[in-house]
Structure 1
Amino acid sequence: MANKVCTALARCLLSSLYELTKIKYNLIHLAYEKYRRIPRGQLENLNRMGIADMMIRSYGEVGALKVTLEILKKMNLNDLVQRLNEDLQKCNHIFNLSSSKKRQTEDTTVKCNDIFKLLCGRETPIRTVLTKGAAGIGKTVSVQKFILDWAEGKANQDIHFIFALPFRDLNLLEGEFSLIELLHYFDPELKLFQSTELFRWKILFIFDGLDECQKISLDVLLTNLIKGNLLPSALLWITSRPAATNQILPECIERVTEIRGFSDAQKEEYFRRRFSDESLASRIITHVKSSRSLFIMCHIPVFCWISAIVLESLFSESDRGEIPRTLTEICYRKLKDGWMKKNETKLITCFLLKLGKLAFHNLEKGKLIFYEEDLKQSDLDARETLVYSGVCTEVFKEEYGLYQTKVYCFVHLSIQEYLAALYVFLSNSSADLLKTAVKEALRSKNGHLDLYLRFLLGLSTDSIQTLLQRLLGQTRTSSHNIEKTAQYIKGKIKENLSPERTINLFHCLNELGDNSLVEEVQRYLNSGSLSAENLSPAQYSALTFVMLMSDEELDVFDLKKFFRSDNEHWRLLPVVKTSKTAL
């Protein structure tokens, strides 16, 4: 009988062993680096626990995890690869695998300007840093603040040069570039700067927005920088949405930081600082708090900004109608306020469809910046776009210092995602539209369709359709389709998706107005009879969502209370991340 698998690394391994027939085949027939094949006779009758134990005895814990990652990649189980990588990064923090006997961890807050500084207990310098966070959480602003403080002589004066290379700009390059050619392209004044001089100075490269990377040719350059094959003394800072971080091996990154956005107190502070009218600020705060979903989303600064604009306008109107309570309703009001006051209704639908077409097709490709040719493909005229909405803005790029090229972008990715969803909703009459959109979003490797999916589902509800009919005329999608989509999403929640993907599906259900899973768990909690062992996988995920939505900030989270024999407690990782201390 297999020994009990009990360590943190083993639990990570155990939670990843699904599709056992394929796992066994790979272990029997394929070899990985120095690891031997496991004979068929030793695997045939083993269950998941037995396979995990056999792999650990054959390869050691770390070796077993490496083999598992390779197998999962070959099986194209990208969600599992992502989750296992994230679990590995968290293992030391969640379960404390250090020599200390105390199974407790506390997150360390690091100021933006200190991300390369040593923390207590570390002696070797930090060379590579990965910063992750949701869209709109403040990654690019953090990069800009770091550079500004350095340029003004306030911090990090030991660094001689900083080269900021955003992926959204790198995507515009044609052909292949060496590192020095890349620097010459971004700053033609550096053409007198020879490649050998890069070794004389302390240099920081900042690659902002890994999730936006489209060019395969950049992979080799970035990989060589990360591994130290190129300029081993250079510092490297990469930012990304969480879903795309699995593109980088954990062992290549020496420090991982996460921008978590506003705390509950900081959300209130934002609204009070924005409005000098204390009464207005209080009313807006009260309303945002009354919609838990909206309040949670306001941890992302950009949604605080959008909510502030919309709610200020609504609370200033005598006949304001129903106050928006979901993210989709907030963005609808932003859309309505932006156009209804300026343009004739007859022209709005045509213009929105063209602008939405541009948004959707570029979102599919992962493009956030586009040329005038892209506008023409969506039947848009550049002057028309800028005059009508103010949603797009011109950015002048100087290439090689010889000429200027106009490029266009939406003021924020969330605006592009909303307009893309609106275009698809208005132009696609397929009965399977919503179900197909869920499938496509879950297939995305970097999660770039997650927010788009929430908007699309929110647009299909009766309340939003009524509002859209006033603005745009007749819309479609029956309540029957919505109900079927909700059931389909609940089925997906039961599956072995990453915690982040599962949480997004609960937000999707919230946009659809279906909170049945959450309400079931809340009834268990209120009755005082909650037993983690008795919950279904979907209910266990709902427990995570309920805890994240709780009004009270979680200071200490005791993970041991929620351990299960089937290791489903990995679904609680988002709660571990947001708690101040995990036991």
Structure 2
Amino acid sequence: MAGENHAVDVLLEALQDLAPEDFLQFKEKLSYPSYKERWNIPQNSLEKAGQACALVNCMKEHCGEDIALEIGTDVFEEMNRRDLADKIQDEKVREYKKKYRAHVIREFLQHEDVNACLGDNLAISSRYTNLTIVMKPRTERKGEQETISLSQTHADTSDQQADTVVSVAQLFQPDEEGQAPRTVLLVGAPGMGKTMTVRKIMVEWAEGGLYTQFDYVFYLNCKEISPTKEVSVVDLISNCCPHRSTPIRKVLDSPQKVLVVIDGLDSLRFSLLQPEDDVSSDPREKKPLETTLMSLFKNILLPEASLMITTRPTALQNLGRCLENVCYAEILGFSAGARNEYFHSFFDTDYKADTAFRFAKGNKNVFAMCFVPIMSWTVCTMLEQELYKKKNLMASSKTTTGMYISYLTRLLKCRAGEGKQDLQQFLCKLCCLAADGMWMHKVLFEEEEIKERGLDQPELLSLFLNENILKKGTDHGNVYSFIHLHLQEFFAAMFYVLEDEKDTGGDSGTYMKDIKVLLENCRTSRKDLLLTVTFLFGLVNGKAIEYMKQRIGCRLLPRFKEVMLRSIQTWPRGILPPGEGTRKIKDLAVFHCLLETYEEDFVQRALNCFTAIDFHDMKLTLYDQTALSFCIRHWNGLASVTFKGCSFKHRDYEEELVPGSASGERQPAEEQPSPIFPLCQALRNTSSQVETLRLLWCGLTEHCCEELAWLLATRPSLRQLELGDNTLGDGGVRLLCKGLRQPSCQLRVLR
């Protein structure tokens, strides 16, 4: 049957079915010199082709198979045999659909990874993780407090959001009235996964698993299209196709079967304000690219075709004016469960993935930003390097600030090579905005303020801020917010150390620029500034300063380092003057600030005036213990350590893993490290002569006693150990006795 043959076979069958006089007429039309400006078939060759098979071979020999089919189709139409022309064309279309889907799979199945070896690519299915996509009205306005809450739990998929969360497969589904959207606008901040999502869509469509209502899905990458070139829709579609024989006419005959994906529209920076009389309804008419796209958006060109447009939020205002029957969808990034899934797709073993995820989850400031896929990639990349060098991430040099710096340089990678001075000035203004916002408890910034500060540079601003479109009738214009509150806190810290040769144009007065005021307010009354201060300590690290300078040309000045050192030395409230009794550290924030500096000399100078740790009623995450362990190892004068009513978390994320998954299975208890392993390891490796250790009401069990016994055997300076109100059991007591019997144990008091 024709449907099972190639198009050439259909041409052959059509010629064989012709009456003799019609066959001669077909040959006669082929004898015209350069038929329709195509290759000429010599007359003597046509005369020799007395049979259908010989004629087809003659046409293929002189014109090639594709041109032969085009010529055959045109001749049949001139002979008023549209039925035969349609048979050939239909078979060509069937063949082409298969070729095109195979081409899409080749083009989109794999993607380059910057960590891969030269020439190596990764299958998109091996790295892609489903994102949280929410359908929401474009004009919805959020209040200040609601925005703060959203920025802190940006990727939450709680029950309240369940009715608005959708999958990619649902984007073109009909609504309750049976109306399917013609246009889907997929919005997301930079690094949120828009391009990876549409690449996954292309592959799944080509494999037959998604959007089966479309015969063709064409992908237009706006970053690869010249914005000044005049093009038609036919040109844009043809550029997506690898074969010369693209059946454009057949494609355009069924526009309802076509989906055009326009990726990264914001990169073209079009105003989209073309006059109505400039648009065109002819798909073959060449117009400026902006006009051609406007004609598509306004349903003037291919009004029955479907569109999917990806863009950053900053392009929404102009785009919204020219779209009709549009569905707005926002990518919110990874949920907590999806972050775990991404880590397991990134690492080659479950052990590495579990170790890295546990470490990231323990650092709430890093984990919160991992809702952004590019931040998850940054964290995984850095932890992969650490795991390659050493197995214990507790000794990792990758601080929270370091991960945010890597995230920043990754976002600015494509722009760091040009205009570094302009970039420095932009960041100065952005940091000033962030700092002012933190001081004034402000996370929403009006459009007028953005312009007054000289921040209205869409290609840079959209990397860090979301644009919120307000309801019609409001007189405040649009408002902006940082994509996450933690990112605003990071830039607020940069405000104090970023070199600025010009006035930033902000409202920050001397009071707000005084780092002493910042540190004092954080210590006494403004605990909401703690993360900003923590980032500040990380930004004065010498390696961080050099890294920022080399990667993106930003100059950081560690001018406040001595002031910051003195602030640590006087941080605990109510301490005794030097030389008058025990000086205790009671605030975990001290250790987090010192960890961020990651400079041994600075840590030693900061801590040597203290002799004790005294923590009460704290829940210590894995990252808390990392900070604590780092400082203990470099603390020369530590004599006493007290934990009362504290808990030591080691595996605190299982409840968020997908039930039943291999990675969600708990390790047997005997394989899990003791919760106090990081603390005991640090005490064994410190240069201090620790004499007293109190672990009271800390929920210790027999599982912890082996570490304590080993500590007794290796720290002869330890004189007093208090373990009251724990459930050690008989087995735990026997383990402690084993440590007490070691010759090196000098313990005098055990309670």
Normalising by structure 2, we get a TM-score of 0.35
Bigger radius of gyration among the two = 2
Higher RCO, 1 or 2 (CA under 8 Å, sep at least 6)? 1
Structure (1 or 2) with the greater helix fraction: 1
